Amino acid sequence: MRVYDLILKKRDNNELSKKEIDFLIKGFTQEDIPDYQISALAMAIYFNGMNERETADLTMAMAESGDQIDLSKIAGIKVDKHSTGGVGDTTSLVLIPLVAAAGVPVAKMSGRGLGHTGGTIDKLESIPNFKTNLNRNIFINNVNEINAAIAGQTGNLTPADKKLYSLRDVTATVDSIPLIASSIMSKKIAGGADGIVLDVKLGSGAFMKDIKEAEKLAEIMVNIGEKLNKKTIAVLTDMEQPLGKAVGNNLEVIEAVNTLKDQGPLDLREICLTLGANMLLIAEKVNSFKKGYELLEDKLKTGEAFDKFKEIVEKQGGDLSYIENTDKFKKSQNRWELKSQKNGYLVQLKAINIGLAAMLVGAGRTTKSDEILNEVGVILHKKYGNRISKGDKIATLHYNKKDDNFTEAVQKLKDSYLIENKAIKPKDLIYKIIK
């Protein structure tokens, strides 16, 4: 089998067999196939796509390229959640303790943030002493004891995906639906969960800008899950504007704590209840979405979800005093307020610009080695559709020093908003659920 022939085959829009895909992924992982040939293959896939069978085979080949986590020692149906990424996406911090409080085991492997998208592990590590580097036995024991554990991905989990993504990132082939789907699902399969709920973001702050493309990605991932005997549900959610009001690690942890106390932003609460109800369905904890939603609402109102979060923090070595008194979190040195120059209604709030503004002042990474400043970020005071009066605070930038990045961040914030005289219909928060 020659790599040249397989590139040619896909370039000419023909199907690759499972044997051929396995050969390519194995050879690439073991560095027997050079980067330039896999880059050429990725470009051929970008233009010609892959069918569902090819995409499922690629997913499994990448999942099998490294470690696969065996969660069989954890009692019950294990359900994982994955978000395709967005701005102010604090769902995991709320969702994991919420679902665990309802009696469903959640063994969560999470990643770090890059660019304007935040990482769950970075957010949790902003809690002093919180440990995300758990060995396999501690990870499993924690789930068995308190129904939840959150850890960083192991170094050898889906190494083929890591190598392939780094090539896609520099060869303009990131936004290929088969490559996105196989990348996401390979990590979920290798993570060992029995079922998966996917939060597919749609809008300016997400990979998918168009609803048709988002639906296509969701349907492919659900079909991959079903082909590989993993019950999978995808929820299409809005990311035209940031979720919640906070962007930045400390600010988002505080918002998550407030949400778990049932005092958080309504949009973040709604997304978490919707995703969580679907997780309960997959875990066979309830027999209807409505019952799952109501059960989770109860866990918020009674304080059980917040208590579960405190259990997770304590179990993983975090300083509980910061969760019990969020005023202890480090604050930024300075704040700059964006105020409205006119009366009207907020008709545009670009999530991507908000995320970039936060990243510019240090809340995100431009390279994997960058150090994040946990205390900086953005707080939104107004959201899409809100009535605004001249002089109202629209957003606050939390920053440490005035420099070129600060100046650019301020401009990004200003460019995020559009205020007009006519009231508009609120955007949908949840577009569709695909099973």
- pLDDT one-digit tens code per residue, 24-54: 999 999 999 999 999 999 999 999 999 999 9
Burial class, 13, CB count within 10 angstroms (exposed 0-12 / middle 13-18 / buried 19+): exposed
Residue 66: closest CA among 31, 38, 26: 26
**Whole-angstrom distance, CA of residue 143 vs CA of residue 139:** 7
pLDDT (0 to 100) of residue 131: 96
Token code pair at residue 48: 């010609």
Computed over every residue of the chain, the mean pLDDT equals 92
**Whole-angstrom distance, CA of residue 408 vs CA of residue 354:** 12
Q: How far is CA 200 from CA 39, 84, 269, in A?
A: 26, 5, 17
Residue 384: closest CA among 431, 338, 418: 418
Name the residue with higher pLDDT: 330 or 90. 330
Residue 95: closest CA among 111, 78, 82, 112: 82
**Whole-angstrom distance, CA of residue 147 vs CA of residue 309:** 11
Q: Residue 129, by phi and psi: left (phi above 0), alpha (psi -120 to 50) or beta?
A: left
Q: Are 392 and 338 in contact (CB under 8 A)?
A: no
For residue 108, which phi and psi values (nearest 5 degrees)? -105, 120
Q: How far is CA 170 from CA 10, 174, 236, in A?
A: 20, 9, 28
Tens-digit pLDDT profile for residues 92-141: 999 999 999 999 999 988 876 554 556 788 899 999 999 999 988 999 99
Token code pair at residue 62: 């990448």
Q: Do β-strands 387-388 and 246-247 pair in parallel, antiparallel, or remain unpaired?
A: unpaired
CATH architecture, domain 331-420: Alpha-Beta Complex (3.90)
CATH architecture, domain 3-49: Up-down Bundle (1.20)
Answer positive or negative: Cα dihedral of 90, 91, 93, 98: positive
Token code pair at residue 184: 């996401």
Q: Give the residue numbers annotated as catalytic, written as ranges.
A: 82, 161, 168, 183, 187
pLDDT (0 to 100) of residue 425: 86
Q: Are 58 and 25 in contact (CB under 8 A)?
A: yes
- Region 281-310: mean pLDDT is 97
**Out of 3.40.1030.10, 3.30.450.40, 2.40.30.10, 3.40.1160.10, which CATH number does the structure's domain 79-324 have?**
3.40.1030.10
Name every residue whose Cβ is closer than 8 Å to that of residue 374 and which is 6 or more positions away in sequence: 126, 248, 249, 250, 329, 330
pLDDT (0 to 100) of residue 257: 98
Q: Is the pLDDT of residue 328 over 70?
A: yes
Determine what percent of the chain is predicted with pLDDT higher than 70: 96
- Give the confidence band of 372 by pLDDT, cuts at 50, 70, 90: confident
Q: Are 358 and 413 in contact (CB under 8 A)?
A: no
pLDDT (0 to 100) of residue 112: 66
Task: Indicate the residue type of 429.
Answer: L
Residues listed for the chain: 435
The residue extents of the domains of the chain are 3-49, 79-324, 331-420
pLDDT (0 to 100) of residue 208: 81
**Whole-angstrom distance, CA of residue 170 vs CA of residue 232:** 31
Residue 267: closest CA among 338, 334, 181, 203: 203
Q: How far is CA 292 from CA 272, 278, 279, 306, 429, in A?
A: 12, 7, 9, 18, 19
Determine what percent of the chain is predicted with pLDDT higher than 90: 77
pLDDT (0 to 100) of residue 368: 60
pLDDT (0 to 100) of residue 110: 80
Residue 187: closest CA among 97, 278, 78, 67: 67
SS3 state of residue 76: coil
**Whole-angstrom distance, CA of residue 183 vs CA of residue 128:** 32
Q: Is the pLDDT of residue 73 over 90?
A: yes
Task: Cite the DSSP H helix spans in 49-196.
Answer: 52-63, 91-101, 120-125, 136-146, 159-170, 177-190
**pTM higher than the cut 0.85:** yes
Token code pair at residue 14: 């023909």
For residue 4, which phi and psi values (nearest 5 degrees)? -55, -45
**Whole-angstrom distance, CA of residue 218 vs CA of residue 207:** 12
What is the Cα Rg of the chain in Å?
Answer: 22
Name the residue with higher pLDDT: 425 or 412. 412
Tens-digit pLDDT profile for residues 209-234: 889 989 999 999 999 998 888 999 99
